[in-house]
Each structure stands twice: as C-alpha cells, then as structure tokens.
Structure 1
Amino acid sequence: MARGQGHIAHCLSRILSLWRDSTFIISGRRRRTGSEFVDGVRRLAAGLAESGVRAGDVVAVAALNSDQYIELLLAVTYIGAIVAPLNHRWNFEEARSAMELVQPAMLAVDESCSQWAMELKNSNNLPSSILYLLVGDCSPSLNSTGSFLTMDTIKRSSKGAITSEPTWAPKEIALICFTSGTTGRPKGVALSHTSLIVQSLAKMAIVGYGEDDVYLHTAPLCHIGGISSCISMLMAGGCHVLIPKFDAKSAFEAIEGHKVTSFITVPAMMADLILYGRKGKTSDGGETVTKILNGGGSLSQDLIKGASCLFPHATIVSAYGMTEACSSLTFMTLRDPRVENSGELLPNKCVAESELHCQQQGGVCVGKAAPHIELRISGSHNDHALPSIGKILTRGLHLMVGYWDTTKPIALDSVEHGWVDTGDIGWISENGDLWLMGREKARIKSGGENVYPEEVEAVLHGHPGIAKIVVVGVPDIRLAEKVVACVKIKDDWKWFDTKFNHLGDEKVLSAEILRNYCRQRNLSRFKIPKTCMIWRKEFPVTTTGKIKREDVRKEAMSCMQLHSYL
C-alpha cells in the first residue's frame, strides 16, 4: 500500500497525545485513560494476529455498544482484517444468513447475542474453523466447554502490544456494513478506510466535532450512522460515553452525569427524549449539549421545538444519506441558537429561489452536499425552466467499494462514469439544495402521474392531529394505483369515517379534513390521498426503524377489502 494511505487506526496517536492520563472513554462503571485504551487496542491486535486472524479475514461482531466494541473495531482493522457488525436485534436466521454471506474467520459476541453463538457453532453451513470470541463479561455457562476465546485471554497470551504500523485488507476495505433493506435480504456494503475518513472529516467540519466534545453513543455501532460518527469522534479526539443501547432514561442519566456535549438521533429517539423530558424526569443536564446530528428521516417542526426547549444551547443538524455512501450525503442546519440570538436567518436554511418552483416540483429539502461529495440528477439539463426531477446520482471518495459477495468479484451496482444511483428521486435547486421526492421503488403511478409517498407524508405530518402516517399505493381499475394514507392520530384526537368536517369539535379528524388540509397546502390534486384509513397499531419497521412500506400496503389492501373508506 502506498505511503500516506489513510487508516482509521491512525487516530490512536491523537488519542494518546490528548488523553494519555485522562479519562478518554466511559462505559458503564468502567473508565479508561487514553493510554489504557490505546494499549488495549494494540495488545488485542497482537493477540488476534497470533490467534490466526490475517489481513483480509472478516471478523463478524454481534454485541451491544461498549468500549470493548470500539477497541475490537480498531484492533481488527489494525491488522488488516475487516469488521462485519451484525445487528443484535436480528433473529437467528438473519444472523446465519449474514454469516454465510461474509464467511468470517471469527465471530465475536457478547452476552446479548450468546444464544446465536451457540446455535451458529452447531450450524452445518458454516466452516468449523471459525474462531469464537467473547466480548465483555459473559456468563460462565457460555464458555463451559472452553471453546470461546476472551479478549482478556488474547491480550494476556500475546507477546506484547503490536509494534508494526497498521496494515490494510485488499481493496482497502475496513468494514462490511449491512443495509437495513425494507424488502429482501440485507446486502453487505464494503466500505474503505478512505470513505470512512472523508466522512469523518465532513462531520468534523459541518457538525463541529472536536477534542472538547463529550460524545454519547446513542446509535448502535452495528449501523453506519453510529459507526461513522464514532470514527469521526475518534479522529477529532473527543471523549466517548457509551450506554449498551438507547432508551431515554439511560441517555439522560449519561448526559447529566458526564456533561455530554453531542450525540446523534433519529426522529423516534428525539420523540422519546422529548416525552421523557416533558414528564419532568430531567434536571438541567440538557444545558451542556451543543451539537445534535439527526438522521434516518427529517424532524418535524414539533420535534425541533421540543428539542430546542430540552437542549437550549444545541445546534441541530439533519443529514440525508445511505449506507452505500458511508452515511451522510447532505447536511442542513435546522436550528442554531447562536444565529437565533443574533436575530439573523439561518445561513443554511433551505430556501428555494422561487416559491413557484417548490410548489410545482414538491419534495422535502435535505440540504447541501458535503464538500467531498458530488451530486447530480440523471438526465438534467441547465436549459430547463424548472430544475429536472430524476434519479439522484453521486460520486466521490465516500462511495462503497461494492457489495460483498464471496462468490464473485466485488462490484458496484448501477454505475455510469463513476456516478452511482442512490435509488432516490429528487431535484437540485439553483442554490444547490437537494430536494428529496422519495424512493424510486416506493413511487406510486396514479392516473399516469408519479406520486412519491414521502412528499405526501411530509405535508400531512404538519397536521397537529397526526402522530404518524404512511402513504402507499394500492391497485385501482381506473387509476392503475390510488394514493392511500394510513393514519395514526394523537391520543386526544377522534377519528370519524365520514366526509363531514365536524367543525364544532377542534380535535376531530376525517378523510375529508385531511384532504382539505392537503389542498390548503397546495399539494397537487393527483397527490391527495383518495382513501384515508385509521391505523390503530404500530407500523411495521425494520431493525433501524425504517417503515416496511410493502407490509403496510398489503395490510391496507386487506382492510380495504373488508371495509369501505372515504
């Protein structure tokens, strides 16, 4: 490998210089200085190499968040092996499928996934040569046969901390991160050291991660959002605080107990934090938070307002991205208290050059591309009166190496002259803001017109009576597909399956009220839901919280066969 090539383990030198004798990482009751952490990584790297893990080998990891998870991530990549995080929320069949795809030399698990390990050891579809490693403190019964290595044992048995420089796997791959596809089996996305590093630099520049930060790991380290922000904070040199998995109570205890300055969320996490705060369960711990990065969907105005009250000094930045792009493609500042106090407009506020363009084009603004990223719309031309709507394409150092498949060479899908199709549809305004229409696969073809569910959902989410909403297309004889809105209303609201507006009651919803709401907000007539139905249970989601839209569609069709909706 050429000299000067980037490696995520190069962050160890910075950690050592900033935190040698100070607490660098906190995980439960365990606190470790920078020198203790770096020494642990290097000793573990040496032990893994002596145990037989080689450059290019895959080490699958199934565990909750901990300091030892991060230690293992850096140690594996230090010796040129590849980390493949498995989602601890998967069932056994999903875990076995992922294992069969990546064919790891080692599986590392903690207590939460120990049952997997026992079943996988007895699986006939996996090589008998796989090494098994315990992460953290596991029950003695799990290792009663002595067939599991432990991190402490590996460190003690090694001849000492590794002294050589970090090395690389073929194609510079550091990580295989699984997508959370809403249909079909998740794919293994191979990401390079370079893509992880440029993503980290972008977050440092845009979000402002720095050595003075105390970063709370709210997102799981098996997802690209959690991993990319973790590596960004490792490079920035900030302090790390870990809780095994997110819940509002644990998060607030960590924020207040360790004076946390930054963390990341998805809308569901933010909603839980706000609800917990409104119940009066918090003190003034939110005063220390200065940076919140949101992903996995846009925050509603209600959530932004709630977060602003709970974390009054926090700048809130939203990101749009995908696993194949190593996390974030675009960023947008939703709230900056420094600018608010000055009375000026937000510098990165998403404002279209023409309101007419916005009304005619539609979509949800997701901000501007990060400095290292190129975006364009397929088939776009500069001589159009309106910006072209089409497939969102991207190219740059942030892109994946390809989808992992041990049966054939790694290759990118849907690539033309270096441009990769994101699978999303949108348009780019004259000032460079990306407007997202939705997933191409979710597009509804109604009466010859294209309708993107996400755009309709974004409009209806603004109604004060709606808690959640999912829009799908169902077969229709006249229109080919018709737009159907599946609605969860807030607890103190009532739903009537009638065309009347019930104007005497302020907290009543009906299909006609929602359709009028869409008209008032200038949603095109063909995009307005023809059918609205009440949804009285939780929407089906993937392990990362993405709506399983096809499952909703099937259930909506079934309900429509039994009932008549207006």
Structure 2
Amino acid sequence: MGYFWEGHICQCLSRISSFRRDSPVTIFGNRRKTGKQFVESVIGLAQGLLEIGLRKGDVVAIAAMNSDLYLEWLLAVAYVGAIAAPLNYRWSFDEARVAIEVVTPVMLVVDESCSFWSLELQNTNLDFLRWHAFLENLSSLHSNTGNVLHTETLKKPSQISELLDYAWAPEGVALICFTSGTTGRPKGVTITHTALIVQSLAKIAIVGYNEDDVYLHTAPLCHIGGISSGMAMLMVGACHILIPKFEAKSALKAIEQHHVSSLITVPAMMADMVSNISLNQEKKGWKGGEHVKKILNGGGGLSIALINKAATIFPCAKLLSAYGMTETCSSLTFMILYNPSGKKLDESFQKICGNKSSVINKPGGVCVGKPAPHVELQIHGDGSSLIGRILTRGTHVMLRYWDQSPTAVSKFEEGWLDTGDIGWIDDYGAVWLIGRLNGRIKSGGENVYPEEVEAVLRQHPGVSSAVVVGLPDSRLTEMVAACIQIKEEWKWNNQVTGHLLEREDIKLSSDILLLHCKQRNLSRFKIPKIFILWRKPFPLTTTGKLRRDEVRRQVMAHLQVFPSHL
C-alpha cells in the first residue's frame, strides 16, 4: 500500500531533471554532475538495489564523510521504499556497533574513513547484515566474503525517461537519524518523508533558498541539520558543493572558488572561519564572502561580537539562527540576526539583545525567534508561571524512537512532543529558551538552569565561554559553580577583590564576575558560588554538543587539588 496522500523526498528529482538538466547539481572535487546525470545515477542505483533484493522497509546504514555519492544513496534508498540510517563517521567501532544493533540494517555502506567498520563486522555474527558496500571502489581493501558491493558496480544503466515508481516504507518512514545524546547511548529517531518535506518548505520560505543558490555542505550528512538543509536545496534544484568534512581553510576555499551563496554553521564553525580570515587577511585579501547571501546558524547562539565579525567577512549575507532538535526534524524556530540591507543587526534582534524592553518584568533566557509556519508550540507549566516545558506537535515531529513502540515513548503527552527544554513565549510570539530540564540544578529548593547563567556570564567582555554545573552541597543540595574560559588578552587574578584591581578592563576575578551577575539582575540563588578558571577545551560529543556531565565530573575530581583553575 502506497502513501499517495503524503509527500516523498524523491519528488525533487522531477524538478532537478528538468530545471537543471544540463547545469551542475553536485560538485565534489573534480567530479561534476548535471541534473540529468545526477538523476540517472540515483535511478540506476535504485534499480541495482532492487535487483539484489532490497525491499520496502529494509534499513540501510551509511557511514561516510560528505560526498555526491552520499546524496545519491540517501535518495536511492528512499526511492525503493527502504530506510536510510546515517551513522556518525567519527564514532568508534563499538559506538557504531551499538547503533547497528539498534536499527538492524540489511546493508552497511561505508567510505574509506569507516572501512574498518565493515571489515570488522564481516567477522561478527550479525545475521541481519546481508550486504557490505563501499561508496568508492577501494581496491586496497580486502574482504573475507563475497557480498561486498560498490556504488558504480551496483548502478544499472538508466535514462530519465525510464523513471521507476518510487515506493514508501511502512508508515512513510524515510530516515532513522541518531541523536547525539550527551549521556547514555544515542537513540535512532524515526523521521517521515512528510516531516523532511515540511521542514524543507519552512527553510525555503524563511531563509529564502532558491534554484539560483550554490550551497556548501558544511554540516555532515549524518546530522539532521545537514540532511534537512541539503533536502531543501534538492527540492529547489540548487547546486551542491560538497567537501568531505568541515575545515575552515577548505570551506573558505570552496566558498571563494565556487561563489557559494548559502551555507549553514554552528558557532564553532563561524568562529573558525572568522579566525582563519583574520590570520590570513594581511597576506592576501579574501573576497569570497561577497557572494554569500544566506547563512543559517544552529547548535547554539552566536554572540553579538561574532555576529559583527561574521558581517565583515560575509557583508552581503542575511544571517539567521534556528533552534530545534533531531526529534523535530531540525528547526522549530527562526530569527534574523543580521540584515545586510541595513548593514546592521536586525532591528528586532537588536531590541531583544539591547534594552530588552519587550521583556521587562518577564522571565529571562535567550530568545530563539518565532516558530516556523508548520510548527505548533505550547508551554506546559504549573499555571502559576510563564515558564514551563516547551512542547510541540505537527507533521515535523518524529514517529518515535526506532526500537520503541509509540505507546512506550514517554516524550509524548497527548500528541505533544516534550522537547526537554524549559522556556516561555513573549507577547510577540517569540520563544525564550531558559535551559534543559535534565540539566537543571536544584539549589536551596530553587530551580537553576545552567544556560541562563551562562548567557549572563558570556556578556562580560573578558569571558569567551562559560559552563555552569551543580556540585553536591549538604546545605543547598546542589551548589552553582561556573567554569570560565577567558579571552586571550585578559588575565585572571583571584587574589584581590574587583574594586582594588588596576586595569579592570583586562583583569578578571571571582569578585568581578560576582558583581557582573548582580548588575545583570541575576537572581541571588542563580549566581555561582564558585568560579573556576578553565584552561582547556570543554569536552564535547562527536557532534559538538557540550558534555556537561563530564565537566561536572572533572570539577569534582580536581576542585580540591586545583581550587582556582583546571
């Protein structure tokens, strides 16, 4: 039975084959494919998968860096009604095996970066894994079995005129995308064709993606952000520039070489690009940023300082931010940060970040913009406060976690998905994010959300980053502690109080930060009792998310030995 009343992500192939028939659709190194060549490659691969016996509902795991072939596999798997399950190429073999045992794929597709997974799994008793495939023909690899395939040998000669009827997996599932859980093992999120399509349409409407875009894939295709923006670009028929993975130097080179007009970032990516340009600006002027028209940032907020720096290297780019999660097929809300037409911070964003007049006598937090047109949000609280859990529902929401039945998903409440975030909605419909429910600190009977405190600390000109954790305390239950990274030109001096310091513009201490928190009207119970100078990078997951549990563990292990720094 087909899901004819729903969308299918392979519907984009019709537009690509006609609108970009003789124009480049994918560029990967020296390999270029026109719309005609790309569509014929996808259809040829789909025919090959059908011939070897891949069927509706079968799961195909893909572990590889970004490439044009990766895009072809995502679409070809969906075309035959199977389900793609992208795995993170940065995972260890043990992490990959856990994920594979969750989704039980019939096929594993890898590139050279993950080829050892395939070789090890061939010696492992996994009865469900019938085929191993390589994106490229890797002659240097030897197999112990005869069921190893390659993309080009799988493909069957095909013409656009010979398009097959695409099929749907049961329940219209298109994708199993793993969360990057900061604790515990990652979960496979079940995402439908319709969810991917409505998310794409939202990005097209709000960000302004169109057929003239030249889109650089900076985010990995194993992450929902990279998949959803890539899918939006496939739907409009844009040109895709693919690099194996993000590195500031290679990304900037690609932007300049291919006149890239659109890309997505996370704060670390933007900081790396800004830093790289700053280091090399004196040697050689860089003009590539003049072609960039749209940048969508996710995975955390950009500071005003970083926004202003980004505007100098991408002077014609509209800069937006998005808030979302894997379980909601990427973005829930959007906000314009910088408007190139006025050569300034967007007025609404400036108002929010400046005088905060719209939130006088209201809860704090970080504004993450307004919901996308297809997104329904609700704040679920106790009725006595504006603050509560952020719930959402709609076609963008996952069906469930892959290895759970719908009735077992505790995240759902009467059709609403609990995002796990705490926040509120102001009078203008903008969402304010306070923190994660599972990161909440219980101090003296009061709830403290680390993200709210961190946002205040980062407003100090000497603080480059901050992580707030709760430490066990006999009186308060948990004590608020702040780990501080300071900017390069600043000095840490905890031996004297703030008002005695000379050159306060370059020195920091616990007392100075304490005063800073008070001046920003942070409630007394939220102000950290301990400030720790953190001299090394904060621990992150493979997808760049903070390992707050690991920060807490390290603080507890070292605090007595190194009371003022780590």
Q: TM exceeds 0.5?
A: yes
Q: Please tell me the residue identity of whatever aligns with 1:100.
A: E
User: Quick one: distance in 2 between partners of 1:218 and 1:493?
Assistant: 32
Q: Which moved more, 1:132-141 or 1:37-46?
A: 132-141
Residues 517-559 of structure 1 deviation map (CA, whole Å, 9 limit, x = unaligned): 1112111111111100111111110011111001101111122
1:236 corresponds in structure 2 to 236
2:94 corresponds in structure 1 to 93
Q: Please tell me the residue identity of whatever aligns with 1:338.
A: S
Matched, 1:375 2:373: no
- SS for the counterpart of 1:228 is helix
Q: Which moved more, 1:271-280 or 1:356-365?
A: 356-365
Q: Please tell me the residue identity of whatever aligns with 2:377.
A: L
User: Quick one: distance in 2 between partners of 1:344 and 1:179?
Assistant: 32
Aligned equivalent of 1:452, options 449, 452, 455: 449
Kindly indicate whether the alpha-carbon contact (under 8 Å) linking 1:353 and 1:431 is maintained by their aligned counterparts in 2: no
Kindly indicate whether the alpha-carbon contact (under 8 Å) linking 1:50 and 1:158 is maintained by their aligned counterparts in 2: no
1:202 corresponds in structure 2 to 202
User: Quick one: distance in 2 between partners of 1:149 and 1:393?
Assistant: 44
User: Quick one: distance in 2 between partners of 1:466 and 1:353?
Assistant: 21
1:398 corresponds in structure 2 to 396
Pair 1:252–1:565, CA change in 2 (3 A) = closer
1:509 corresponds in structure 2 to 508
Q: How does 1:166-245 map to 2 (within 5 A)?
A: 166-245=166-245
Pair 1:301–1:142, CA change in 2 (3 A) = farther
Residues 172-217 of structure 1 deviation map (CA, whole Å, 9 limit, x = unaligned): 0000000001000000000000000000000000000000100000
Q: Please tell me the residue identity of whatever aligns with 1:398.
A: H
Matched, 1:315 2:313: no
Q: Please tell me the residue identity of whatever aligns with 2:334.
A: F
User: Quick one: distance in 2 between partners of 1:363 and 1:43?
Assistant: 51
Residues 351-382 of structure 1 deviation map (CA, whole Å, 9 limit, x = unaligned): 8997484565111110100000010110375x
Q: How does 1:317-336 map to 2 (within 5 A)?
A: 317-336=320-339
Q: Please tell me the residue identity of whatever aligns with 1:543.
A: T
User: Quick one: distance in 2 between partners of 1:459 and 1:195?
Assistant: 35
Pair 1:349–1:319, CA change in 2 (3 A) = farther
User: Quick one: distance in 2 between partners of 1:487 and 1:370?
Assistant: 34
Report the Cα offset of residue 472 of structure 1.
Answer: 0.4
Sequence identity percentage? 57
1:413 corresponds in structure 2 to 410
User: Quick one: distance in 1 between partners of 2:195 and 2:521?
Assistant: 41
Pair 1:344–1:428, CA change in 2 (3 A) = closer
Q: How does 1:54-203 map to 2 (within 5 A)?
A: 54-124=55-125, 126-127=126-127, 129-143=129-143, 146-156=146-156, 163-203=163-203
User: Quick one: distance in 1 between partners of 2:410 and 2:443?
Assistant: 29
Kindly indicate whether the alpha-carbon contact (under 8 Å) linking 1:402 and 1:413 is maintained by their aligned counterparts in 2: no
What's the Cα RMSD here? 2.3
Kindly indicate whether the alpha-carbon contact (under 8 Å) linking 1:177 and 1:189 is maintained by their aligned counterparts in 2: yes
User: Quick one: distance in 2 between partners of 1:197 and 1:269?
Assistant: 26
Pair 1:358–1:97, CA change in 2 (3 A) = farther
Q: Which moved more, 1:496-505 or 1:252-261?
A: 496-505
Pair 1:2–1:316, CA change in 2 (3 A) = same
Q: Please tell me the residue identity of whatever aligns with 2:291.
A: T
Q: Which moved more, 1:330-339 or 1:87-96?
A: 330-339
User: Quick one: distance in 1 between partners of 2:128 and 2:375?
Assistant: 43
Report the Cα offset of residue 465 of structure 1.
Answer: 1.6
Kindly indicate whether the alpha-carbon contact (under 8 Å) linking 2:289 and 2:313 is maintained by their aligned counterparts in 1: yes
Matched, 1:438 2:425: no
Pair 1:159–1:144, CA change in 2 (3 A) = farther
Aligned equivalent of 1:301, options 297, 300, 304: 304
Q: Please tell me the residue identity of whatever aligns with 2:366.
A: V
Q: Which moved more, 1:19-28 or 1:356-365?
A: 356-365
- Using the size of structure 2 for normalisation, the TM-score is 0.94
Aligned equivalent of 2:459, options 458, 462, 466: 462
Pair 1:212–1:4, CA change in 2 (3 A) = same
Report the Cα offset of residue 5 of structure 1.
Answer: 2.1
Q: Please tell me the residue identity of whatever aligns with 1:296.
A: G
Report the Cα offset of residue 164 of structure 1.
Answer: 2.5
User: Quick one: distance in 2 between partners of 1:351 and 1:19?
Assistant: 42
Pair 1:410–1:69, CA change in 2 (3 A) = farther
Residues 387-425 of structure 1 deviation map (CA, whole Å, 9 limit, x = unaligned): 6101100011100011001x7568543322211110000
Kindly indicate whether the alpha-carbon contact (under 8 Å) linking 2:105 and 2:128 is maintained by their aligned counterparts in 1: no
Report the Cα offset of residue 489 of structure 1.
Answer: 1.4
Q: Which moved more, 1:114-123 or 1:292-301?
A: 114-123
Q: Which moved more, 1:505-514 or 1:150-159?
A: 150-159
1:29 corresponds in structure 2 to 30
Kindly indicate whether the alpha-carbon contact (under 8 Å) linking 2:336 and 2:346 is maintained by their aligned counterparts in 1: no
1:480 corresponds in structure 2 to 477
2:486 corresponds in structure 1 to 489
- SS for the counterpart of 2:311 is helix
Pair 1:347–1:355, CA change in 2 (3 A) = closer
User: Quick one: distance in 2 between partners of 1:233 and 1:358?
Assistant: 40
- SS for the counterpart of 1:175 is strand
Pair 1:237–1:159, CA change in 2 (3 A) = closer
Report the Cα offset of residue 55 of structure 1.
Answer: 0.5
Pair 1:380–1:479, CA change in 2 (3 A) = closer
Pair 1:464–1:350, CA change in 2 (3 A) = closer
Q: Please tell me the residue identity of whatever aligns with 1:531.
A: I
Kindly indicate whether the alpha-carbon contact (under 8 Å) linking 2:104 and 2:128 is maintained by their aligned counterparts in 1: no
User: Quick one: distance in 2 between partners of 1:350 and 1:204?
Assistant: 25
User: Quick one: distance in 1 between partners of 2:325 and 2:116?
Assistant: 30
Q: Which moved more, 1:283-292 or 1:331-340?
A: 331-340
Residues 319-358 of structure 1 deviation map (CA, whole Å, 9 limit, x = unaligned): 00000000000001101111447x9834896489974845
User: Quick one: distance in 1 between partners of 2:410 and 2:326?
Assistant: 14
Kindly indicate whether the alpha-carbon contact (under 8 Å) linking 1:287 and 1:311 is maintained by their aligned counterparts in 2: yes
User: Quick one: distance in 1 between partners of 2:332 and 2:360?
Assistant: 21
User: Quick one: distance in 1 between partners of 2:354 and 2:419?
Assistant: 23
Report the Cα offset of residue 500 of structure 1.
Answer: 1.4
Residues 282-340 of structure 1 deviation map (CA, whole Å, 9 limit, x = unaligned): 51000000100000000011110110001000001100000000000000110111144
